[in-house]
Amino acid sequence: MRLGAFSVVDALPPAAAAGRDRYAEVIDLAAQVEAAGLDSFWIAEHHFHEGGLCPSPPILLAAIGQRARHIALGVMVSVLPFHDPVELAEQYALLDQLIGGRLRLGVGSGYIPAELAGFGLDAATKRARFDAHYATLLEAFRGEPVRPARGDGAPVVLNVRPVQRPHPPIWIATQRREALAPLARRGASIALIPYATVSSVEELAGEIREYRAALPVGTPGRVAAAVHLYGGPDRPRAMAALQTYLDGRRRTGSPNYEAKVAREPSAVTAEAIAGSGLALLGPPDTLRPGLERFARAGVDDLLGILDFGGLTPSEISGSIEGLRALRWGSPTS
């Protein structure tokens, strides 16, 4: 299992981010993650609310790529229904060129009502729109003629292609268990957010088994999962930060997370999530068993959410130093 890092680039809670330059913090965070020997660094795309301050991942990842020059850089996710897929293919192809073929691309259909409404999209049509845009994105990456979503012009061919051929590695994000088998049958790798959808690592393992059982023979689909991760000495502080993050997350109105809250109100506290192993918080020598549980569950890429709940840059740096000491994935680990 590869261990990477993931930033939502959020301002939750807003008061904790007052006076802070979150973009500079995230760029510095990526550089620290690389220095600590982690595998990759990912950011999210969000719009119109404090739950995510990065509307254009290609721009921020290009800036990150000037500081973190070796590890893979990813987006989790690019929300395809919000964009013209030809324009998006150009942007990510150029980004892959600028960072030397290190791009990892997660894609999704969107799930936050305020974002869908802001782009004038009906939630009932978003998956059909995603499928159409996804197909066009892949065709454009491969150098095939494609039509932009706007206008009736002639087909075009990208004059900038990704370094990675036929395209960068792609993950499709889902928060619905019933979507796992259809995604597997199309041979897609998947990205999951366990704290928002399941109640235990064992339940997550069951989902992953369903996904792998539906993969076509010979298809090595990968599973990425994002979890809150803290490798410092002050576990109570990390627990308080996680609770702050979860309380703020309610304000984004995620239907899947709200469904979990309604189904199991007691399961969405920091104590419950950490107790079930869906967040790993504490000194580095206490984290290894939890990481091993995710590996046994079938996770290929564990993406640690490091900057959550108003943790300060110095607290996050201490956590990263703890992860460096853990040496997960090193030949001697």
pLDDT in tens, 284-314: 999 999 999 999 999 999 999 999 999 999 9
Task: Please check whether residue 187 lies inside any domain of the structure.
Answer: yes
Residue 30's nearest CA partner among 11, 51, 58, 7 is 7
- Averaged pLDDT, 184-189: 96
Taken in order 147, 150, 153, 156, the sign of the CA dihedral is: negative
List pLDDT tens digits, range 116-125.
999 999 999 9
Banded model confidence at residue 28, pLDDT cuts 50, 70, 90: very high
How many domains in the chain?
1
Task: Please check whether residue 333 lies inside any domain of the structure.
Answer: no
Task: Please check whether residue 207 lies inside any domain of the structure.
Answer: yes
With contact defined as beta carbons under 8 Å apart, do 132 and 80 qualify?
no
pLDDT given at position 187: 95
Q: E strands along the chain, which residues?
A: 2-7, 40-43, 72-79, 103-108, 170-173, 189-192, 223-230, 279-281, 301-305
Residue 332 has pLDDT above 70, yes or no: no
- Averaged pLDDT, 192-198: 94
pLDDT given at position 13: 77
> Which position has the higher pLDDT, 266 or 278?
278
Average pLDDT over all residues of the chain: 94
> Which position has the higher pLDDT, 251 or 31?
31
CATH code, domain with 198 = 3.20.20.30
* Contacting residues for 262 by C-beta, under 8 A, at least 6 apart: none
List pLDDT tens digits, range 57-68.
999 999 999 999
pLDDT given at position 152: 78
Q: What percent of the chain has pLDDT over 90?
A: 87
Task: Please check whether residue 332 lies inside any domain of the structure.
Answer: no
Q: Which domain range does residue 148 map to?
A: 2-326
Residue 178 has pLDDT above 90, yes or no: yes
Task: Please check whether residue 157 lies inside any domain of the structure.
Answer: yes
Work out the burial of residue 180: count CB atoms within 10 Å of its CB; fewer than 13 is exposed, 13-18 middle, 19 or more buried: buried
Banded model confidence at residue 16, pLDDT cuts 50, 70, 90: low
Task: Please check whether residue 230 lies inside any domain of the structure.
Answer: yes
List pLDDT tens digits, range 259-273.
777 888 877 899 999
Task: Please check whether residue 331 lies inside any domain of the structure.
Answer: no
Q: What percent of the chain has pLDDT over 70?
A: 98
Taken in order 321, 305, 189, 195, the sign of the CA dihedral is: positive
Banded model confidence at residue 19, pLDDT cuts 50, 70, 90: confident
